[in-house]
Amino acid sequence: MAGIYLHIPFCKQACHYCDFHFSTSLKKKDDLVIALVKEMQLRKNELQDEPVETIYFGGGTPSLLSVQELKSLIAAVYENFKVIADPEITLEANPDDLTEASLVGEQSKTIFEAYKGIGINRLSIGIQSFFEEDLKLMNRAHNAKEAKKCIEAATAIFDNITIDLIYGIPGMSNEGWMQNIETALSFNIPHISSYALTVEPKTALEKFIEKGIVKPVDDEIAQQHFQLLVDTLKEHDFIHYELSNFGKEGYFSKNNSAYWLGKKYLGIGPSAHSYDGLHRSWNVANNSKYIKSLQENILPSEVETLSTVDRFNETIMTGLRTIWGVSLNKVKESFGEKYLEYLIQQSQKYIEEGLLEIDNSNPSLPVLKTTAKGKFLADGIASDLFLLNLQ
């Protein structure tokens, strides 16, 4: 089973915190769509008939593409790869692209009906906050009213909806954050992704904080927000299945889960990464170079081969973020007894400190997991459990 990710590298305007690859000029949109199709054609044999379970439009802002363009890309997936009968097809969308104004084609059809019509069955909406001041601070393209309206409209057509929310925004109180969570819950959607605001290097946000225009992000507040989030969503039957992802039973993101479970995926588009179980490759993060290369039938990508140690480390790193943890049986099978011994010995300290636990609820399938207390420290712990390649 495999997933296909399509990267749509355009945005209306740059959010202040964002370090993804995108361009705010839509000039190359047509060429890009052609290039995406070309890339799929060139890589059609890479999945070796392994059936595609999920298709994911990410970005950037995929909702900047027309329904027609999205339709042609989905068609290209079907043409070049074997797809299972009922694949999960997700579209990331921003509220400002999903307003009433964006009626398409036949009079009465809303954008949501149009999306549904081309096979999209899961919407991921970039809400981030329901407060005007937060949206301004982050330079989002939509306003608070659009945020609420578009979810309302979306729920009329889609049931599999997820929204993004950001916490730990400078100035955001615990009460404000709780209101955001409650507003989100009021729409009765089955999935929420929620991220701590992160100050990435070389972003506008970093500059503003340096200059004192924006208050620095406070880890302690972020941690409180995280706790509120975890507790509240739990009360509402959400399962906290990955550090930043909460879904009701049956509504986890299949596409994203694949990343954490070490499944194969094909990333199409500039800056997209692919993984085949042994190698990871990534495309050039530059729209013009990407388009030009594909016009010349050349894949603009680099590859690295993952060593056993690399794969072990990735298993730990992703595993500790998820509800599935790190399966000790799998470590033994994939890497050997030695690795398992090392892992258990190295984890001991964290188990004693109550940051890790071995879940024996299925005695034949023991799993190493972060505890509620350890989750927000998962990277530091993972790093400590890593092995180092011998140079």
Partner 1 sequence: MKNIRNFCIIAHIDHGKSTLADRLLDFTGSVTDREKQDQLLDNMDLERERGITIKSHAIQMEYTYKGEQYILNLIDTPGHVDFSYEVSRSIAACEGALLIVDAAQSIQAQTISNLYLALENDLEIIPVLNKIDLPSANPEEVTDDIVDLLGCDPEDVIPASAKTGLGIEEILEAIIERVPAPKGEPDAPLQALIFDSVYNPFRGVETYFRVLNGEIKKGQKIKFMATDKSYFADEIGTLKLKQQPKNIIKTGDVGYLITGIKDAREVKVGDTVTSTENPCVKPIEGFENVKPMVFAGIYPVDTEDYEELRGAMEKLQLNDASLVFAPESSAALGFGFRCGFLGMLHLEIIQERLEREFDMTVITTVPNVSYHAYTKKNPDEIIIVNNPSDLPDPSKLERVEEPFIKATIITKADFIGPVMSLCIEKRGVITNQTYLTPERVELSFDMPLAEIVFDFYDRLKTVSKGYASFDYSPIGMRPSKLVKVDILINANSVDALSALVHMDNAHTIGKKMCEKLRELIPRQQFDIPIQAAIGAKIISRETIKALRKDVTAKCYGGDISRKRKLLEKQKKGKKRMRQVGNVEIPQQAFMAVLKLND
Q: Which residues bind partner 1 (CB under 8 A)?
A: 5, 58, 195-198, 219-220, 222-223, 226, 243-244, 256, 259-260, 265, 267, 271-275, 280, 282, 304, 310, 313-314, 317-318, 321, 349, 353, 355, 375-384, 386, 388-389
Nearer to ligand SF4, 130 or 238 (CB): 130
User: For residue 265, how many other CB atoms are within 10 A of its CB?
Assistant: 22
Q: Do residues 50 and 14 lie in contact, with contact meaning Cβ atoms separated by under 8 Å? A: no
Q: Which is nearer to ligand SF4, 14 or 103 (CB)?
A: 14
Q: With beta carbons less than 8 A apart as the criterion, state whether 180 and 147 touch.
A: no
Name the CA dihedral angle for 340, 341, 345, 348, rounded to a multiple of 10 degrees: 50
Tokens coding 379: 């990277």
In b/e form, how buried is each residue of 365-377, taking b as 16+ CB within 10 angstroms?
Answer: ebbbbbeeebbbb
What backbone phi and psi angles, to 5 degrees, belong to 327? -75, 120
Which partner, partner 1, ligand SF4, none, binds residue 284 by CB below 5 to 8 Å per kind?
Answer: none
8 Å CB contact between 24 and 224: no
Sheet holding 356-359, edge to edge: 326-327, 367-370, 356-359
Of residues 118 and 299, the one with the C-beta less far from partner 1: 299
C-alpha to C-alpha distance for 225 and 355, rounded to whole angstroms: 19
Which contiguous run of DSSP H or E holds residue 91? strand 83-93
Nearer to partner 1, 64 or 199 (CB): 199
**Binding site partner of 349, from partner 1, ligand SF4, none, Cβ cut-off 5-8 A by kind:** partner 1
Q: Whose Cβ is closer to partner 1: residue 111's or residue 274's?
A: 274
**Do residues 301 and 284 make contact, with C-beta atoms less than 8 angstroms apart?**
yes
* 95 contributes a contact to ligand SF4 by CB under 6 A: no
Candidates 17-25, 208-216, 236-244, 339-347: pick the segment binding ligand SF4 (CB under 6 A): 17-25
Q: Which does 72 bind (CB under 5 to 8 A by kind): ligand SF4, partner 1, none?
A: none
Shortest spacing between CB 7 and ligand SF4, in angstroms: 10
Binder to ligand SF4 among 1, 18, 178, 239 (CB under 6 A)?
A: 18
Q: Is the CB of 60 or the CB of 325 nearer to ligand SF4?
A: 60
- The residue from 23, 54, 61, 327 that contacts ligand SF4 (CB under 6 A) is 61
- Interface with ligand SF4 includes 14 (CB under 6 A)? yes
- How, if at all, do strands 2-8 and 264-268 pair? parallel
- The rounded Cα 18 to chain-centroid distance in angstroms is 14
Choose from ligand SF4, partner 1, none: what does 187 bind? Cβ within 5-8 Å by kind.
none
Nearer to partner 1, 112 or 128 (CB): 128
Type of residue numbered 100: E
Binding residues for ligand SF4, rule: CB under 6 A, are 11, 14-15, 18, 20, 22, 59-61, 94, 126
